[in-house]
């Protein structure tokens, strides 16, 4: 574990009084408290750091040990004991020194970014206290964040999925119409609470990949449809597949290139609004025929002549 300068974390100097520590802690805690910075990993990390610093420095005995032993402060008693033993040994052996009094201690001990001490206090959680008051040591479990990658076609209908989070299976209903980047909270499925505190929550952010020919804006869908010249001029029908449902659409005669047609209620489902759908906006793109035969060219010439007579 890296040495953390708790004074630096709280922005105070080594001569700071208890009042200074409390003041500095309060100021930083207000800024970085997870409840005022929801889903902010940086604030969460910072809050852990300032809490750890405060827990150590606000306790005069711990502070004294920290000032003396730095990162090994938690092992102060053991170090003292070993020093005493070594001093005794040196006296018996008739020589002083000869050994590292700190031998046998690796310092820190925790594998993560924070000390065991802090892990004990907060369980690696950012949640802070639930149950209220300084009287209880109940801690809310850590909030978990996860990403779920889905295709746009998957979220056209509500669907059930089973996720495995930290070895636990969670059955989840994903409502139709969920947006890319949208986050939902599943209460109580985060880290386990400590000392009877409530569990944290699980936040799932949806990442939705568009695997369709549609473009989606909110619950509206946009689609470019190619029309052959003759259907555009004479009118006709086109069939559009909307997520497995075929919709027959009449094309008016003399439809111009770029014409937009709105199909009300044929778009994407509105999130959590049963039987409500956005609109489908179709833009026609007229395709001019290529590789014309001589006969076709003649006919077009005739058509052009007819048009010029008008």
Partner 1 sequence: MSDKDILKLEKFCELYEVPTSFVDSLNQFELIHLTAIDDELYIENEELPVIEKFIRLHYDLDINVEGLDVINNLLQKIDTLKKEIIQLENELKYYR
Residue range at the interface with partner 1 (CB under 8 A); choices 98-106, 128-136, 234-242, 294-302: 128-136
Q: Does 134 bind partner 1 (CB under 8 A)?
A: yes
Our CB check for partner 1 shows the closer of 18 and 296 to be 18
- Report the distance separating Cα 21 and Cα 151, nearest Å: 51
Bridging pattern class, strands 220-228 and 215-217: antiparallel
Residue range at the interface with partner 1 (CB under 8 A); choices 2-10, 72-80, 142-150, 176-184: 176-184
Our CB check for partner 1 shows the closer of 41 and 215 to be 215
Q: Does 179 bind partner 1 (CB under 8 A)?
A: yes
Q: Looking at the chain, which runs of residues are DSSP E strands?
A: 144-151, 159-165, 168-174, 183-186, 202-209, 215-217, 220-228, 236-242, 245-251, 260-263, 280-287
Our CB check for partner 1 shows the closer of 108 and 198 to be 198
User: Torsion angle, CA of 158/164/169/175, rounded to 10 degrees?
Assistant: -10
Our CB check for partner 1 shows the closer of 88 and 210 to be 210
Q: Does 222 bind partner 1 (CB under 8 A)?
A: yes
Radius of gyration of the chain (CA): 35
> Per-residue x/- mask for partner 1, residues 24 to 63, rule CB under 8 A?
--x--xx--x-xx-x-------------------------
CB of 38 to partner 1, least distance (A): 7
Q: Does 135 bind partner 1 (CB under 8 A)?
A: yes
Our CB check for partner 1 shows the closer of 23 and 45 to be 23
C-alpha torsion sign, points 22, 27, 32, 36: positive
Q: Which of 216, 47, 16, 231 is nearest to 129 (CA)?
A: 47
- Report the distance separating Cα 3 and Cα 13, nearest Å: 17
Contacting positions for partner 1 (CB under 8 A): 26, 29-30, 33, 35-36, 38, 128-136, 140, 179-182, 187, 198, 201, 215-218, 222
């Amino acid at each position: 574990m890296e040495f953390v300068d708790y004074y630096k974390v709280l922005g105070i100097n080594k001569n700071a009084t208890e009042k200074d520590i409390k003041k500095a802690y309060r100021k930083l805690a207000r800024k970085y408290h997870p409840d005022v910075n929801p889903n902010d990993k940086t604030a969460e990390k910072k809050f852990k750091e300032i809490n750890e610093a405060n827990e150590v420095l606000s306790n005069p005995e711990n502070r004294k040990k920290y000032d003396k032993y730095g990162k090994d402060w938690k092992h102060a008693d053991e170090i003292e004991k070993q020093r005493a033993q070594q001093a005794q040994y040196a006296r018996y052996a008739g020589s002083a020194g000869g050994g590292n009094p700190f031998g046998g201690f690796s310092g820190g001990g925790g594998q993560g970014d924070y000390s065991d001490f802090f892990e004990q206090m907060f369980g690696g959680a950012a949640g802070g206290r639930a149950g209220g008051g300084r009287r209880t040591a109940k801690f809310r479990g850590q909030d978990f964040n996860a990403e779920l990658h889905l295709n746009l076609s998957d979220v056209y209908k509500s669907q059930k999925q089973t996720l495995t989070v930290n070895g636990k299976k969670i059955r989840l209903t994903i409502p139709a119409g969920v947006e890319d980047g949208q986050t939902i909270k599943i209460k109580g499925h985060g880290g386990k609470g400590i000392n009877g505190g409530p569990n944290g929550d699980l936040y799932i952010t949806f990442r939705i990949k568009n695997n369709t020919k549609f473009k989606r804006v909110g619950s509206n869908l946009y689609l470019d449809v190619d029309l052959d010249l003759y259907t555009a001029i004479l009118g006709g029908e086109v069939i559009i597949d909307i997520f497995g449902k075929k919709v027959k659409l009449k094309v008016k005669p003399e439809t111009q290139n770029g014409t937009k047609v709105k199909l009300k209620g044929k778009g994407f489902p509105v999130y959590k609004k049963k039987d409500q759908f956005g609109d489908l906006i179709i833009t026609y793109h007229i395709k001019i025929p290529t590789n014309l035969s001589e006969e076709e060219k003649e006919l077009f010439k005739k058509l052009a002549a007819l048009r010029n007579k008008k």
